[in-house]
Amino acid sequence: MLEIKNLHVSLEEEDKQILKGVDLTVEAGKVHAIMGPNGSGKSTLSYVLSGRDGYVVTEGEATLNGEDLLEMEPEERAAAGVFLAFQYPVEIPGVGNMTFLRTAVNAQRKARGEEEMSAAEFLKVIREKAKDLKIDADMLKRPVNVGFSGGEKKRNEILQMAMLEPKMCILDETDSGLDVDAMKLVAEGVNALRDEGRGFLVITHYQRLLDHIKPDVVHIMANGRIVKTGGPELALEVEQNGYADILAEVA
């Protein structure tokens, strides 16, 4: 599904290399986790995959089901099936959460040549999914993420993911700042979407989230590279010993 080969990325504004040859393949139906110290390039990878400005790909490639992602505009990547749950969801005053989501759902459907969702159908579906995530009607009406608590913002990301039904879900530290209950809600939201045809890339610092979202593969990222790949046990090792041992071992 998602294939990243030898990806090198620098900042546009300054001459600084962030990703130094990332190789990663996420198969459909699988959950891959990426762990790694702060500043290792995890968020950068998620941004580059979703098409944020400010980065230059100097080498390598990234494809989704064979399609070159790096050539596409952010909205084209979204229509192709890429979804990023932001580490820091953006507040947008003046744009209603519902308006935003309906515009997004229909824009993607239109881009894929599918029929748009009617207002009534949309309302029915979103109410259902919001309920599962304990998002109340008031939150749906408010401007996007404005005045939301940290946990509410993260749940709102998962709601968007549930509505958009992407093929490749990238979650960037969706667990950070969540209490145990909120984390369970988020994990349930993610697990409900687990499907044969869908891949997940879950970026996290903690084993905790991975107790709820069982990963198939765990990668350790450090200094712009995937330095170690293993099974779920790798996450446990990080939880117990930190990154020091692993980094020393691969250095």
Ligand X SMILES: Nc1ncnc2c1ncn2[C@@H]1O[C@H](COP(=O)(O)OP(=O)(O)O)[C@@H](O)[C@H]1O
Is 100 a binding residue for another protein by CB under 8 A? The answer is: yes
| Segment near another protein (CB under 8 A); pick from 67-75, 197-205, 224-232, 236-244 | 67-75
The item of Mg ion, another protein, ligand X, none sharing an interface with residue 41, based on CB under 5 to 8 Å by kind, is ligand X
39 contact, one of another protein, Mg ion, ligand X, none, CB 5-8 Å limit per kind: ligand X
Q: Give me the least distance between CB of 100 and another protein, in Å please.
A: 7
User: Which H helix or E strand runs over 236?
Assistant: helix 233-241
- What gap in Å lies between CA 1 and CA 176, rounded to an integer? 27
43 binds Mg ion (CB under 5 A): yes
Given Mg ion, ligand X, another protein, none, residue 18, with its beta carbon under 5 to 8 Å by kind, binds: ligand X
Which of the 8 DSSP states describes residue 136? Answer: -
Residue in the block written with tokens 């996420």: 26
**In angstroms, rounded to a whole number, what is the distance separating the alpha carbons of residues 206 and 53?**
29
Q: Which is nearer to ligand X, 155 or 225 (CB)?
A: 225
Number of H helices, E strands in the chain: 10, 12
Which amino acid would we find at residue 79?
A
To Mg ion, the closest distance from the beta carbon of 84 in angstroms equals 12
Return the residues of window 72-111 that contact Mg ion according to CB under 5 A. 87
What does the alpha-carbon distance between residue 84 and residue 186 come to, in Å, rounded to a whole number?
14
> Which is closer to another protein, CB of 49 or CB of 218?
49
d(C-alpha 50, C-alpha 56), whole Å: 13
User: Which position among 40, 43, 44, 108 is part of the footprint of another protein (CB under 8 A)?
Assistant: 108
Interface with another protein by CB under 8 A: which range of 48-56, 60-68, 217-225, 231-239?
48-56
Q: Which of 40, 43, 44, 50 binds another protein (CB under 8 A)?
A: 50
Q: What does the binding site for ligand X look like in residue numbers (CB under 6 A)?
A: 11, 18, 36, 38-44, 54
157 and 83 Cβ atoms separated by less than 8 Å: no
Could you say which of Mg ion, ligand X, another protein, none residue 198 binds, taking C-beta under 5 to 8 angstroms by partner kind? none
Q: Are 182 and 158 contacting, i.e. CB atoms less than 8 angstroms apart?
A: no
Quickly count: other Cβ atoms within 10 Å of residue 246's Cβ. Answer: 20
Q: Which lies closer to Mg ion via its Cβ, residue 46 or residue 97?
A: 46
Q: What are phi and psi of 81, to 5 degrees?
A: 120, 5
- Cα 113 → chain centroid: 25
Least gap, CB of 88 to ligand X (angstroms): 10
Backbone φ and ψ for 119, nearest 5 degrees, come out as -60, -40
Question: Which residues contact Mg ion by CB under 5 A?
Answer: 42-43, 87
Residues forming the site for another protein (CB under 8 A): 50-53, 73-75, 77-79, 83-84, 86, 89-95, 99-101, 103-105, 107-108, 111, 143-144, 160, 164
